[in-house]
Amino acid sequence: MTAYFDEMNGKGSGVRAPYARLQDWVGAMPVDLRTLKQAEAETLFRRIGITFAVYGEGGDPDRLIPFDMFPRVFSGAEWARLEKGIKQRARALNAFLVDVYGRGEIVRAGRIPARLVYQNAAYEKACVGFVPPKGVYSHIVGIDIVRTGPDEFFVLEDNCRTPSGVSYMLENREIMMRMFPELFRENRIEPVDSYPEKLRRTLASVAPAKCKGEPVVVILTPGHFNSAYYEHSFLADLMGVELVEGQDLFVEGEYVYMRTTEGPKRVDVIYRRIDDAYIDPLCFRPDSMLGIPGLMDVYRSGGVSICSAPGAGVADDKAVYTFVPEMVRFYLGEEPLLNNVPTWQCGKADDLKYVLDNLAELVVKEVHGSGGYGMLVGPKATKAQVEAFRLKIEDDPGNYIAQPTLALSTVPSFVAEGVAPRHVDLRPYCLVGERIELVPGGLTRVALTEGSLVVNSSQGGGVKDTWVLAE
Amino acid sequence: MLSRTADNLYWIARYMERADTSARLLEVGSRISLMPSAHGYRSEWDSLLQASGMAEGFARKYGDPVQRNLESWLFFDRDNPSSVASCLTAARENGRIVRTALTAQVWDALNSAFQELRVLERRERSSLELSELTDWVMQKAAMVRGAIDATLLRNDGYNFLNIGYYLERADNTARLMDVKYYVLLPRVEFVGSGLDNYQWTTLLRAMGAQRAFHWAYGGEVTAAKIAEFLILNPQCPRSLTTCVAGIANHLGRLAKAYGRETGAQGRARAMLADLESESVERIFDEGLHEYLSRFIGDAAGLGGAIHEVYLSGETR
């Protein structure tokens, strides 16, 4: 069989237990029914309006992310282990953030280089000395996880700012339940639909001390041209909170208000889906049209909470990533339950030499890159591409990290020829407020092109429903 | 609710109603142009574009009013902000922004109109009958309106939608009637002639009010009866009285829900009181065109007041 671990078939060792019933299901499904169901799913997505808008590239501005109906399944035991590891990591990342904007003990102890923290572009000097309510900087931590074997899980990267995609986790489930109710009778699948309620509770739990009574929570969106606008409005709707743009908010005195038809209404918690640089033109980019002038002053004087807190990005940097296991040990006194992928820092001379010598075998990423752009997948690249990338690394080594090309696990997927294994990753959404919570599930992204390891939707990736079976 | 949300809802309604009017204009124009006239084909269309405030843009882009160009301009042209295509697209985009304030049915109606529009745009133009286009628009407009009435929560958002509908409709009725002013009769003895009546009847037809008119008045079609029907009669769904009463009603509901009156309520009530005490004789004494121009100005003033107190977000 293949060199890859398939989550349904192992390495050719027979169907693994969590997938037992799915094998019967897929075996009994005639091709024409599958085609019909696929079309039905697409219609549902389009009707509900779950599209991600891509403007300025021509073509259909409302694109669908391909939805693969073959679910991805975790046993209860597998999930229990992942859950512990994810929560541990989310806790450590938040402890790190509070520390580096405070005394910086981890730097003083020599466990992470000062340069990586304090000279990091994502380090916000405006936040030094400020502790957000409940000591939480990152309220929604999206931790991207890949698997290479039955018990081998690795963290690919952390997203401490505003990880997106949770609407797909919810909608994929909704659509699967609508189309295949029998699957949900035969398998005992943990529900994920409590996520919006948990998110609302998490956000309300970090309301500033000045807030009396029930906190007013809003979602701040860059606007309807943003590719994730659907998700913003979807979450606002499910949480029953207002979806605001920067122009809807203004600062007066020590508080932030929204403009309503009945006059100004005070806002206590802002779940912002715009970057730090844009939230306050007086504090950050002066040319930002998206932000609210004066917001940071109100924030620092405890008049409003911002989620994620400005400055949280310093923890999810790809160079800082290497040190997350150290954070777990340093702050929690525990051994990390989830491993990092071994990573070479091109900024270090020894590492750089190794990377350049083995470029064709490695995955190289920009430290601040995202979305699968600006990366090299050595084994999949042509000689010319590798050489071109070599020049870029030599030009600015500190801007790159490298990792071994992982043998990402596969999950059976519906493709043109029938059912075939495709590589997947997982993004669970860990909520951090007064409590740390994780709904049993997440977003499984799948690289639908045969052999491809890039799961990003901007690069031809699709999504799957992710099941956690009840024990 | 957020002022911006209220504004989006208000504009959904205005754009849908405007799309409907543009389609009706197209129909009334092509009917008027079918009849013999003293001025010739060209001036009929000119007057129509004049009345709808779209003449300048059309002349700049196309020059001569050829039927096909007029169809393009009023239906498909995105350079014309009042074309059916522009209005349906804008209504749907406003809807997308405030999805959370709409029911699935309302969104579905807005979205499917937009999706079907894109199909129409791809079709061979020679395969599109004018009547097919105008019927389609009226049907889509009715579906959105129906979905709003049947499914939407009767909260402040519902009031803003209705205010948008009535305000736009009041403006459009006044402008459609004013077309008659621009389609001047060549000599005074034509007034009351067959030609004159034909023009009036076409107008009624464009507003889908021909049958209703006959039920309400019966007998001969006269300018006075039609003006009374379209301006003063509260039974006519497009009359200025009906529209202003609708605005006053929904503004009143807002004032009650919010526990405070604004300048907009006073303005609407004053306009309604004027209409209720008006007579068709006095309107003709003043001059129909002068009366309608004044009304269009008042309606715009009311729209401005509503914007200021509810939609701009500047309320304190």
Among all residues of chain A, which has the CA nearest to that of B98?
A233
Give the mean model confidence (pLDDT) for residues A366-389. Answer: 82
Is B6 near chain A, with CB under 8 Å?
yes
Phi, then psi, of A336 in degrees rounded to 5: -60, 135
Residue A375 has pLDDT above 80, yes or no: yes
Q: pLDDT by residue (tens digit) across A111-158? A: 999 999 999 989 999 999 999 999 999 999 999 999 999 999 999 999
pLDDT of res. A58: 44
Say if the Cβ atoms of A259 and B1 lie within 8 Å.
Answer: no
Give the mean model confidence (pLDDT) for residues A240-250. Answer: 95
Residues 212-271 of A with CB under 8 A from B: 224, 229, 233, 236-237, 242-245, 247-248, 258-264
- Strands annotated E in A196-296: 217-220, 242-244, 249-252, 255-260, 263-267, 269-272
Amino acid at A331: Y
Q: Shortest CB distance from B100 goes to which of A236, A262, A264?
A: A236
Residues 279-298 of A with CB under 8 A from B: none
Tell which residue, A275, A254, A309, has the closest CA to residue A131: A309
Say if the Cβ atoms of B96 and A236 lie within 8 Å.
Answer: no
Among all residues of chain A, which has the CA nearest to that of B102?
A237
Q: Shortest CB distance from B3 goes to which of A237, A243, A259?
A: A259
Q: pLDDT by residue (tens digit) across A58-82? A: 445 566 788 999 999 999 999 999 9
The pTM assigned to this predicted structure is 0.87
Q: Within chain B, which residues score under 50 in pLDDT?
A: 186
Q: B84: distance to nearest CA of chain A, Å?
A: 20
Is B314 near chain A, with CB under 8 Å?
yes
Give the separation between CA B201 and CA B217, rounded to whole angstroms. 13
Q: Shortest CB distance from A263 goes to which of B5, B156, B315?
A: B315
Q: B301: distance to nearest CA of chain A, Å?
A: 19
Say if the Cβ atoms of A259 and B93 lie within 8 Å.
Answer: no
B270 Cβ contact partners less than 8 Å away, ≥ 6 residues apart: none
Contact, B111 vs A49, CB < 8 A? yes
The Cα diameter of chain B in Å comes to 59
Among all residues of chain A, which has the CA nearest to that of B108?
A47
Is A47 near chain B, with CB under 8 Å?
yes
Lowest-pLDDT range of A164-178, A267-281, A364-378: A364-378
Give the separation between CA B178 and CA A332, rounded to whole angstroms. 78
Contacts of B265 in chain A (CB under 8 A): none
User: Burial of A109 by CB count in 10 Å (0-12 exposed, 13-18 middle, 19+ buried)?
Assistant: exposed
Residues 58-97 of B with CB under 8 A from A: 93, 96-97
Give the separation between CA A100 and CA A160, rounded to whole angstroms. 15
Q: Give the residue, A461 or B5, on which the prediction is more confident.
A: B5
Contact, B4 vs A259, CB < 8 A? yes
Q: B75: distance to nearest CA of chain A, Å?
A: 22
Contacts of A247 in chain B (CB under 8 A): 4, 313
Contacts of B156 in chain A (CB under 8 A): 261
Amino acid at A437: E
Q: A264: distance to nearest CA of chain B, Å?
A: 6
Among all residues of chain A, which has the CA nearest to that of B311?
A261
Is B1 near chain A, with CB under 8 Å?
yes
Read off the pLDDT band of A425 (50, 70, 90).
Answer: very high
Among all residues of chain A, which has the CA nearest to that of B5?
A260
pLDDT of res. B190: 55
SS3 for chain B is CEHHHHHHHHHHHHHHHHHHHHHHHHHHHHHHHHCCCCCCHHHHHHHHHHHHCCHHHHHHHCCCCCHHHHHHHHHHCCCCCCCHHHHHHHHHHHHHHCHHHCCHHHHHHHHHHHHHHHHHHHCCHHHCCHHHHHHHHHHHHHHHHHHHHHHCCCCHHHHHHHHHHHHHHHHHHHHHHHHHHHCCCCCHHHCCCHHHHHHHHHHHHHCCCHHHHHHHHCCCCCHHHHHHHHHHCCCCCCCHHHHHHHHHHHHHHHHHHHCCCCHHHHHHHHHHHHHHCCCHHHHHHHCHHHHHHHHHHHHHHHHHHHHHHHHCCCCC
| Lookup: tokens for A462 | 């699709």
Residue A54 has pLDDT above 70, yes or no: no
Contacts of B93 in chain A (CB under 8 A): 224
Strand order in the sheet with A217-220: A242-244, A217-220, A269-272, A305-307
Q: Please provide the average confidence, as pLDDT, over all residues in chain A.
A: 90
Give the separation between CA B73 and CA A261, rounded to whole angstroms. 36
Contacts of B111 in chain A (CB under 8 A): 47, 49
Among all residues of chain A, which has the CA nearest to that of B94?
A224
Is B135 near chain A, with CB under 8 Å?
no
Q: Give the residue, A54 or B277, on which the prediction is more confident.
A: B277
Report ipTM for this prediction.
0.83
N- to C-terminal Cα distance for chain B?
Answer: 14
Q: Shortest CB distance from A259 goes to which of B2, B96, B160?
A: B2
CB–CB contacts below 8 A, A to B: 55
Q: pLDDT by residue (tens digit) across A334-345? A: 999 999 999 998
Say if the Cβ atoms of A259 and B4 lie within 8 Å.
Answer: yes
Give the separation between CA A68 and CA A345, rounded to whole angstroms. 36
Q: What's the full length of chain B, in residues?
A: 316
Choose the mutation target among B99, B116, B119, B160 for the interface with A, i.e. most A CBs under 10 Å: B99
Say if the Cβ atoms of A262 and B258 lie within 8 Å.
Answer: yes
Contacts of A237 in chain B (CB under 8 A): 99-100
Q: Which long-range contacts (CB under 8 A, 24 or more apart) does A103-110 make?
A: A105/A330, A106/A326, A106/A327, A106/A330, A106/A331, A109/A330
Residue B170 half-sphere exposure, CB side, CA atoms within 13 Å? 32
Q: Shortest CB distance from B3 goes to which of A233, A237, A260?
A: A260
Say if the Cβ atoms of B316 and A261 lie within 8 Å.
Answer: no
Residue A93 has pLDDT above 90, yes or no: yes
| Lookup: tokens for A469 | 């079976």
Kind of pairing, strands A255-260 and A263-267? Answer: antiparallel
Amino acid at A300: R
Phi, then psi, of A10 in degrees rounded to 5: 60, -140
Tell which residue, B163, B176, B111, B172, has the closest CA to residue B267: B163
Q: pLDDT by residue (tens digit) across A395-409? A: 999 889 899 988 899
Residue A1 has pLDDT above 50, yes or no: no
Contact, B109 vs B143, CB < 8 A? yes
Is B258 near chain A, with CB under 8 Å?
yes
Contacts of A243 in chain B (CB under 8 A): 100
Contact, A296 vs A309, CB < 8 A? no
3-state SS class at A261: coil
Q: A257: distance to nearest CA of chain B, Å?
A: 11
Is A178 near chain B, with CB under 8 Å?
no
